[in-house]
Amino acid sequence: VSWSPQCRHLFHYRFDIHTVPATLSKTDTVPQNAKDWEDVLERALSRRNKLHQPRHKAEKKLLKISTVTQDTAYMCREQISKNLVTHCEIKLLLLIAASESENPSLAKAYSYLGVSKLSCHGCHLFIEAYNRIHGTRFMTRGTHGKSYWPWQFPRNFPKHAATAQQMYSMLVDIWGSYYNGYEIEMKNLGQDSSAGSYADGPATFESDSPKTRAALAKILGS
């Protein structure tokens, strides 16, 4: 900021620094076994198919049972913590939005959220979903595309449900495109969803990790 001709004058003002308290909570349920994880994947796929139905009727996808069976067996090996935390850029965004709503006479804050690291996948999607629902333009420096658990979808802000639905739709659309446990339905395959053109074996989704799966499960429960 100090090197920017447009922002240098800001350093002539007095700065007040305020801390944002930690936001901690605990979820009631998380997937515990392979069947729970299969339900998570199936529900995500169902939403993805509904999103694509008006646009790409020929691209309905099914669970690839051989891959899903191996993946869900792996997913349930690690215990997932029920303790949740709201990440810093989300807290900043909601604090700014609340302050501007409560004090309309205040000058509008910069839409750029300055944080020390690139945003995680969950925060990046939340900010994009929030912007779409609220008509705002909040942004960070970017995202590294990885998901970090614990991660909490925040509570008690305007249009909470609509933002959650928007974020979940974006998330399942990404999973539907890249997770190789889903395959395009072929008319000549009948009801055998385990057959397809992909090689058998565990998924190789770029962000596939227990933390990513836990974040997906949390959005499902919102």
- pLDDT tens digits along 127-153: 999 999 999 999 999 999 898 888 999
Q: Is residue 138 a contact partner of residue 163, using CB atoms and an 8 Å limit?
A: no
* Alpha carbon distance 50, 27 (integer Å): 28
- Residue 136 neighbours by CB distance under 10 Å: 15
Which secondary structure element, helix H or strand E, spans residue 108, and what is its range?
A: none
Q: Is residue 134 a contact partner of residue 97, using CB atoms and an 8 Å limit?
A: yes
Q: Is residue 157 a contact partner of residue 86, using CB atoms and an 8 Å limit?
A: no
For residue 203, pLDDT beyond 70:
no
Which range, 29-33, 55-59, 104-108, 199-203, has the best average confidence (pLDDT)? 29-33
pLDDT for res 199: 43
Shortest CA distance to 118 belongs to which of 148, 94, 95?
A: 148
pLDDT digit string (tens) for 152-171?
999 889 999 999 999 999 99
